[in-house]
Amino acid sequence: MKLKIAVQKSGRLNEDSLQLLKDCGISIDNGQDQLKAEAKNFPIEIYYLRNGDIPQYLKDGVVDCAIIGENVLVEKGNGITISSALGFSKCRVSLAIPKGSTYKNISDFKGKRIATSYPETTKNYLAKFGIEADLHIINGSVEIAPNIGLADAICDIVSSGSTLFKNNLKEVEVIMKSEAVLAVSPTISTDMEQILGKLQFRIQSVLKGRDSRYVLLNAPNNKLAEITAILPGMKSPTILPLAEEGWSSIHSVVNQEKFWEVIDQLKEAGAEGILVCPIEKMVL
């Protein structure tokens, strides 16, 4: 029995998804232009699919799970469970208008023509404010629509905003923030759930490692209490005596988001020789 997992056929999400599986120790035997591949050392099959098709494959039970953008699930994946957020391929779904247009509030979209690849997401967001608009469904280069007179505005995914800038558009409303997620089919069997559990364990170990840094430092013994209060670690910091009398080495783990803040506090508390290392995986 093999767990069937879908990933995007090509693009950035494909690359990041395969890298995550690789970091989980899963070796995939795939060649160029393959639509399906098996792992050599884990009971899993990889299906390479169009991003927009993945929700239907999940609903139909053709695949057991998928690495997919949350924005696609919101648009097409009603009833599909999100197992966990994966922390990469972050973007947002936003409404944008031509740079020269004035904008006061969401009411400005009333009766406007909006080009989008996300009609359900757009419609549901506007409905929250009681706004009706004329939606033009476009698969592809949505940003060009206002420039050719097809629409007054667009609703599309935004990452850096460079594509909007190149097409003389400005972002005015963020409908939702999105990232890659692990989604699970509503029809997954009990046997496949067990394999999925093992995969989830590996994924969480990798993600925790990515979000953390291993810190080693030297500190005078009379400062240990103050410094260890800054460094809680996974349970508590590891403290080892140094050859130099009156000094100790402290080992701990710091969350990446708070890293520089913690480092500043450690220096003020008297820490020296601070060494920071990446963590490949963290198993708790």
What is the DSSP secondary structure assignment for residue 106, as one 8-state letter? G
What are the pLDDT digits (tens) for 137-181? Answer: 998 889 999 999 999 999 999 988 899 999 999 999 999 999 999
Query: Does residue 73 sit in helix, strand or coil?
Result: helix
- pLDDT at position 35: 87
Domains present along the chain, CATH in parentheses: 3-89+179-209 (3.40.190.10), 91-178 (3.40.190.10), 212-278 (3.30.70.120)
- Distance CA(156)–CA(268), nearest Å, equals 46
- pLDDT at position 6: 97
- Distance CA(195)–CA(43), nearest Å, equals 7
Count other C-beta atoms under 10 Å from residue 10's C-beta.
12
* pLDDT over threshold 90, residue 79: no
* pLDDT over threshold 70, residue 233: no
- Distance CA(111)–CA(117), nearest Å, equals 18
pTM score over 0.95: no
* Per-chain mean pLDDT for the chain: 92
The sheet carrying 36-39 orders its strands as 28-29, 36-39, 44-49, 3-8, 65-69, 180-184, 81-85
Token duo for residue 103: 């904008």
What are the pLDDT digits (tens) for 9-39? Answer: 988 899 999 999 999 999 887 766 678 999 9
